[in-house]
Structure 1
Amino acid sequence: MNTANSTVSDLLRMHSRPARAFAVLYAVTCVVLALNTAPHAEVRWPLAIAVIVCVAAAYALVAVEGDPLPVRPALAMTFSGAIASASVLWVVPADPAPHPIELWPFGMSTTILVFMCVRGRTAYAWCGMLLMLVVAALWSHLTGPGMGYGLGLTITSAGPVLMGTVCAYTIRPLARSIYLLRARSMQRIAAESAAAAALEERDVRLGSLDASARPLLERIVSGEPLDENERIECGLVEARLRDGLRAPVLQVPEVDRAAATARRRGVEIVMLDDHAMDSASPEVRRAVYREVVDALDSVREGSVTVRVLPPARAAMVTMLVKGEDVRRIEIGHDGRRTGN
């Protein structure tokens, strides 16, 4: 989950498998209620329309991404309750009074409206509630008992929508605060980890420098003249320090050993790093190191320039080898040679 862009839908896991399982249970409930209503219906096929509309709205609620809920799905859900209610009331007689279970589209559609509130479409949810009340009032008016009768049967559905509204205005700002705090916490942890890694890398480099340079520094401080081998070792330490500053990505034991051996033979080596290897995988890096070691070992005299290119280049690493002949070796982003 991308914490910085997370929403209340993510907090409630409205796109998760449990949410989809809840939608399936919702669909089964609609079917059961429609079957219970069927014996009392004058015509049965409108009940199927009500079931299809309610199930489609529930599926869209858990399947459609975005916060707040996109306008088109929200509009469809707004009218779903009125369509489902009208489909059932059309075939249910007003006299005798319908059993509460026969008014199931109101309760099932109210569930959709409540979650519309949670997903940031409170105004659409109340429009849907108003449309359902209008349908109930028209039904009772046209069938005889009067508008008040239909409103009295269905007005209680507004209660859950009101609670959903209050909950939405409470949960949504809270969710934003939770995810904002979590994002800041993750940024702080990442910064601390990066600082710790930098300190660890610094300690490793200081330890390596101490092991290689301290004996020579102590020898210099002693005032005794340096012999030829010690002068060579001083040059190798200086070159290694320069490589560590110019091309830290190439500072691995096998490359260090190959470079030191080549320099003892009198080969001039230059290493440069423009960061194309920063995101390379360990396997690719190992392949590049093998190619660099092979190039260094192949030169008896002359020079070798190893350059890690900028990230946008076609090749990742180039090596210019000047020995008995001049060769330019290119290594691609997969760690394999692309030119020689």
Structure 2
Amino acid sequence: MNTANSTVSDLLRMHSRPARAFAVLYAVTCVVLALNTAPHAEVRWPLAIAVIVCVAAAYALVAVEGDPLPVRPALAMTFSGAIASASVLWVVPADPAPHPIELWPFGMSTTILVFMCVRGRTAYAWCGMLLMLVVAALWSHLTGPGMGYGLGLTITSAGPVLMGTVCAYTIRPLARSIYLLRARSMQRIAAESAAAAALEERDVRLGSLDASARPLLERIVSGEPLDENERIECGLVEARLRDGLRAPVLQVPEVDRAAATARRRGVEIVMLDDHAMDSASPEVRRAVFREVVDALDSVREGSVTVRVLPPARAAMVTMLVKGEDVRRIEIGHDGRRTGN
């Protein structure tokens, strides 16, 4: 999860598989309620409209990304409850008291409105609630019992929406705080990890420097003249330190040994790192190291320039080998030669 862009929908896992399973259960419930309403309906096909509208709203609720919920889906959900309720009420008897299941669109649509509140569209949810109450009032007025009768049957649906509103105004700021704290914690952990890695790298380099340079430095401090072999070793230590600064990615034992052996033969070696290998896999790195070692071992006199290219280049590594002849070797991002 991308913490920087996480929302309350992510906190509640609104787009997860369990949420989609809940939407499927919601759809099945709508179908069952519609089937139980069918025996009391004068015309049955409007019941299918109510089911389709409710199911579409539930699917959009768990499928549509964005926080708050985008305007168009939110607007469609606002009208979904009124459409579903009207589709059922116009085909059932004026007095649903003997069969209260006929009022199922109000309960199912209220569920959608509650989650609209959670997803940041509280005003749209209340507009949807108002539209459903208007539908109920008009239905009861036109069929005889009067507006108050329809409002009395459906006004209780406002309770869950009110709780959803309170919950939204509580959860949404809390979600932002949670993800902000998580982001800061991850940044702190990343900074600590980077600092620890830097300290570890420094200790490794200091240990390597101590092992290779200390004996020579002590020999120099003693004041005694250096013999030819010691002067060569001083040059090798200096070259290795230079390689470590210019091309740390190539500082592995096999390359170090091959470079030291080639330098003892008088081969001039330059290593450069522009970071194309930073994201390379261990297998690719090993393949590159083998190619570098082969190139260093192949030169008896002359020079070898090994350069790790910038990431955007077609090749990953180039080697310019000047010995008995001049060769340019290119290694691709898969660790294989692409040119010679």
After TM superposition, give the deviation of residue 53 of structure 1 in Å: 1.1
Q: Distance in 2 between matches of 1:96 and 1:194?
A: 68
Deviations 1:5-30 (A, max 9, x none): 00000000111111111111111211
After TM superposition, give the deviation of residue 96 of structure 1 in Å: 6.2
What count of residue pairs does the alignment treat as equivalent? 340
Equivalent pair of 1:41/1:92 in contact (CA under 8 Å): yes
1:69 counterpart SS class: coil
1:141 counterpart SS class: helix
Equivalent pair of 1:236/1:260 in contact (CA under 8 Å): yes
After TM superposition, give the deviation of residue 224 of structure 1 in Å: 2.0
Equivalent pair of 1:247/1:272 in contact (CA under 8 Å): yes
Deviations 1:91-122 (A, max 9, x none): 11114645322101001000000000100111
Q: Distance in 2 between matches of 1:124 and 1:316?
A: 55
Q: Distance in 1 between matches of 2:312 and 2:174?
A: 42
Equivalent pair of 2:302/2:322 in contact (CA under 8 Å): yes
1:296 counterpart SS class: helix
Equivalent pair of 1:92/1:98 in contact (CA under 8 Å): no
Deviations 1:45-77 (A, max 9, x none): 211211111111111111111111111211111
After TM superposition, give the deviation of residue 39 of structure 1 in Å: 1.6
Aligned residues with identical type, % of pairs: 100
Q: Distance in 2 between matches of 1:144 and 1:332?
A: 82
Equivalences for 1:94-173 in 2 at 5 Å? Answer: 94-95=94-95, 97=97, 99-173=99-173
Equivalent pair of 1:277/1:316 in contact (CA under 8 Å): yes
After TM superposition, give the deviation of residue 186 of structure 1 in Å: 0.4
1:130 counterpart SS class: helix
Q: Distance in 2 between matches of 1:81 and 1:219?
A: 90
Q: Distance in 1 between matches of 2:17 and 2:241?
A: 55
Structure 1 gap segments, 5+ residues each: none
2:286 counterpart SS class: helix
Q: Distance in 2 between matches of 1:39 and 1:198?
A: 75
TM-score by length of 1: 0.97
Equivalences for 1:29-44 in 2 at 5 Å? Answer: 29-44=29-44
TM-score by length of 2: 0.97
Residues 1:263 and 2:263 aligned together = yes
Which residue number in structure 2 is paired with residue 316 of structure 1?
316
Q: Distance in 1 between matches of 2:249 and 2:31?
A: 64
1:272 counterpart SS class: strand
Q: Distance in 2 between matches of 1:55 and 1:43?
A: 20
Q: Distance in 1 between matches of 2:98 and 2:210?
A: 91
Q: Distance in 2 between matches of 1:170 and 1:159?
A: 17
Distance 1:106 1:221, change over 3 A: same
1:304 counterpart SS class: strand
RMSD between superposed Cα atoms in Å: 1.1
Q: Distance in 1 between matches of 2:259 and 2:112?
A: 70
Q: Greater CA deviation, 328-337 or 10-19? A: 328-337
Q: Greater CA deviation, 278-287 or 103-112? A: 278-287
Q: Distance in 1 between matches of 2:71 and 2:239?
A: 65
After TM superposition, give the deviation of residue 283 of structure 1 in Å: 1.4
Q: Distance in 2 between matches of 1:97 and 1:146?
A: 15
Equivalent pair of 1:274/1:308 in contact (CA under 8 Å): yes
